[in-house]
């Protein structure tokens, strides 16, 4: 497997709070592990910065679903 990396930034919808952020993060950790994905999610000042890495198809599928997510 060739490791593929993706880094992106997005703006959170107005009013994002800690509980909403953990609602995103907690299930994502398990799902990403099942898919062989690792990465990092940073949040501050209404901006998400995320690094994803894993097999190219898995990273692209995840990013496609992130793009459709109305929370940012």
Q: Does the reported pTM lie above 0.75?
A: yes
Give pLDDT, residue 30: 93
Could you tell me the pLDDT band of residue 32, with boundaries at 50, 70 and 90? very high
Q: Write the pLDDT tens digit of every residue in 41-66.
A: 999 888 999 999 999 999 999 999 99
- Cα 34 from chain centre: 14
Closest CA to 63 of 72, 52, 71: 52
Could you tell me the pLDDT band of residue 8, with boundaries at 50, 70 and 90? very high
């Amino acid at each position: 497997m060739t490791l593929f990396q993706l880094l992106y930034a997005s703006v959170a919808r107005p009013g994002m709070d800690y509980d909403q952020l953990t609602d995103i993060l907690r299930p994502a950790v398990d799902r990403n592990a099942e898919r062989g994905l690792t990465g990092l999610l940073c949040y501050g000042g209404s901006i998400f910065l995320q690094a994803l890495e894993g097999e190219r198809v898995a990273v692209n599928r995840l990013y496609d679903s992130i793009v459709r997510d109305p929370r940012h």
